[in-house]
Copies of this chain bind each other. A is one copy, B any other.
């Protein structure tokens, strides 16, 4: 993919965001992308390939969302970024990539990342407008994003991401929880009393809850793995209540 990009747009700077999204886990890819993309400069083109439907009739798409461009399969990978652009009233332009003259000459059924998405991304870098690359669409596929639910005593959310340290990220954020004065976090039959400011304020082995890199509620074991300690997975329920 990098070779293809450099063949079309030779001066492009390329960074890898992640190669460790679990196979076919579109939501995990969507989260990783939505967390890192905003930190890149305006005009950055992001290519994302979590693509179990490659070679079927799922559409290849490119999207201009706010200050950034995105290229990949139309399977919901860009849902969170699209919703953010909508909420912020930013530019939204999405096209179905249907102009093979901007692709490689031979299109494999199993690697559109190389054959379609990378050349299209490089052409965007070169200034080709989305309107030349495809046909506008309004019905891009969206993932069903788990939404935290208000409960009698607080909020119910779920684990949405687990990093390689075993830290659990939830879909509950500081904005949900700020009205709760004495927080208790219930997960997997265990209660965590109170939030701590950071890992280093506790002892190795402590099971803690704190705000993460996105102001999201995270659950961790200091110098250990909350994933292993609690035997949880993506989708495990997390309840936060007033003590």
Of the listed stretches A9-17, A88-96, A153-161, name the one at the interface; the rest are far from the partner chain: A9-17
Question: In the complex, A54 Cα to B220 Cα: how many Å?
Answer: 14
Q: Is A189 in the interface zone, CB < 8 Å from B?
A: no
Q: Select one of B10, B15, B215, B218 contacting A41, CB under 8 A.
A: B10
Q: Which of A108-116, A125-133, A178-186, A229-237 participates in binding chain B?
A: A108-116
Interface residues of A, dominant DSSP: loop
Establish whether residues A39 and B109, one from each chain, have CB atoms under 8 Å apart when the complex forms: no
Question: Is A210 a contact of B4 with CB atoms below 8 Å?
Answer: no
Asked whether A23 and B223 contact (CB < 8 A) given A44-B3, A210-B109, A213-B110, the answer is yes
Task: Report how many copies the assembly holds.
Answer: 3
Chain B residues in 8 Å Cβ range of A6: 13, 15, 40-41
Mark each residue of chain A from 207 to 233: 1 if its CB lies under 8 Å from any CB of chain B, else 0: 000111101001000010000000000
Inter-subunit contact A200/B41 (CB<8 Å): no
Report chain B residues within 8 Å CB of A4: 39
From B15, B23, B52, B114, give the contact of A14 (CB < 8 A): B15
Pick the contact of A111 from B7, B15, B55, B213 — CB < 8 Å?
B213
Q: Decide: A3 near B108, CB < 8 A? Known: A53-B200, A55-B197, A55-B200.
A: no
Q: Which of B24, B55, B110, B213 contacts A223 (CB 8 A)?
A: B24
Chain B residue at minimal CB-CB distance from A19: B164
Pairs A-B, 10 closest by C-beta atoms: A55-B198, A3-B40, A3-B39, A56-B200, A53-B200, A109-B198, A111-B213, A2-B15, A7-B41, A108-B213
Using a CB–CB cutoff of 8 Å, the interface residues on chain A facing chain B are 1-4, 6-7, 10, 13-15, 23-24, 36-41, 44, 52-56, 58, 108-111, 114, 165, 197-201, 210-213, 215, 218, 223
Return 18 A-B CB contacts under 8 Å, by A number: A2-B15, A2-B40, A3-B40, A4-B39, A6-B41, A7-B41, A13-B13, A13-B14, A23-B223, A39-B114, A52-B199, A54-B198, A54-B199, A55-B201, A56-B200, A109-B211, A110-B213, A111-B213
